Amino acid sequence: MEYYFGILQNIGFHTLLGLSAYLLLLTGQLSMAQVGFFAIGAYASGILTVIYGINIFLALGVGAIIASFFAFLVGFPALRIKGLMLVIATIAFSEIVRLYFFNLRWLVEKDGVEVGPDGAQGFREIRYFAANGWEPSHIVSFIWIVVILVLFALWWLDRVKAGSVLRAVGEDELAAQSSGINLTVVKVSAMTGGGFIAGIAGGLYAHSTTYVDHNSFTILLATFAVAYPILGGLKNVFGTLFAVIFIQGILIEGLRFLGDYRNLLFGLLIILVMNFYPKGLINIPIFNWSKLFKRRDL
C-alpha cells in the first residue's frame, strides 16, 4: 500500500510544479526557473521545521513566500527578454540555486544529533510528519487537499477578469498593451504566483521524502514542469493534472520495466502532441473531457 501512497504523493508534487508553470505559460512566458523556486521552498520550509521547530503549516507558507519573493525578483529582468533567451536565463537561475544548496552547510545539534543542510551530503532528518505521528494516508490526504485548493484557485482565476488579462497578454502582448494592460504588472504577478505554488510543492516534497540534496533539483525536473501544461493544454487547468497522471502514473510508473527507454517515449510523446494535437492531450478525442471543464469566456 505504501508504494501506491508514494505514487500519489509524487503525482501531487508534480501537479503543483506543473501548475506553477501553467500560470506563467498563460502569459506566454516559458520559464525553467520553477525548479529553482521548488528547491527554495524545500530547503526553507525544511530549515524552519527542523532547526527552528516551526509548525508545518506555517513553515510551508513561509517557504512559499520566500520562493515567491525570489520569483518576484526574477520576474523583472525576465521582462527584458523572451523566447530562447528567457529559457537560458531561467536555467541559469535554477543552476545558481542548485549550486548554492550544494555548498550550503548549516548544521545545528539537536538531541545529540547534528541536523540541517550539509552541503553535498544533502539535507537529512526532515522528519516532521513521522515525529508528529502522521500516517502515510494522512500525508497523501494533506498533499492532495493542497493540490485541489490550488487547482480550484486557478480554475476560479480563469473565470474572472484576471484570467482574461493573463490570456490576453499570452495571445498578443501588443494588443493587450494597446488596450491598457500593464504588461509589467501582469508578467511579474504571474512569475510571483508561480513561484509561490512551486515553493509549496518543494516544501511538501522535502517533508514527504525526509531528504533532499542538490541532485533533487535538476534540469530534467524543470523540463517536466513545463511539459505538463504544454502536453495537457492551456485551455483549462485540469489539462495539467491529466498530463501529470498520464506521464507519472502510466508512462513513468506503469512502464517501469522499460527502464531508460521511457525517456525516449516521453520525448516522442512531446513531438507527437506538438505536431498533431497542439492544444494538448485533453483535446484528443479519446481523452476529450474539455467540455466538462469548459472555460466561460468573459
Report the pLDDT averaged over residues 36-65.
96
Q: Which cell is 29 given? A: 512566458
pTM: 0.90
Residue 192 confidence (pLDDT): 95
Supply 101's cell numbers: 544548496
Q: Reduce the DSSP state of residue 9 to 3 states and report it.
A: helix
What's the chain's average pLDDT?
Answer: 87
Q: Is 111 left (phi over 0), alpha (psi -120 to 50) or beta?
A: left
User: Between residues 278 and 286, which one has the greater pLDDT?
Assistant: 278
**pLDDT of 52 over the 80 cut:** yes
pLDDT tens column, 192-241: 999 999 999 999 999 999 999 999 999 989 989 998 998 888 888 898 99
Q: Decide if pLDDT at 290 tops 60.
A: no
The highest-confidence range among 155-169, 246-260, 265-279, by mean pLDDT, is 155-169
Secondary structure (DSSP) of 232-275: H-SSSTHHHHHHHIIIIIIIIIITGGGTTHHHHHHHHHHHHHHH
Percent of the chain scoring above 90 in pLDDT: 56
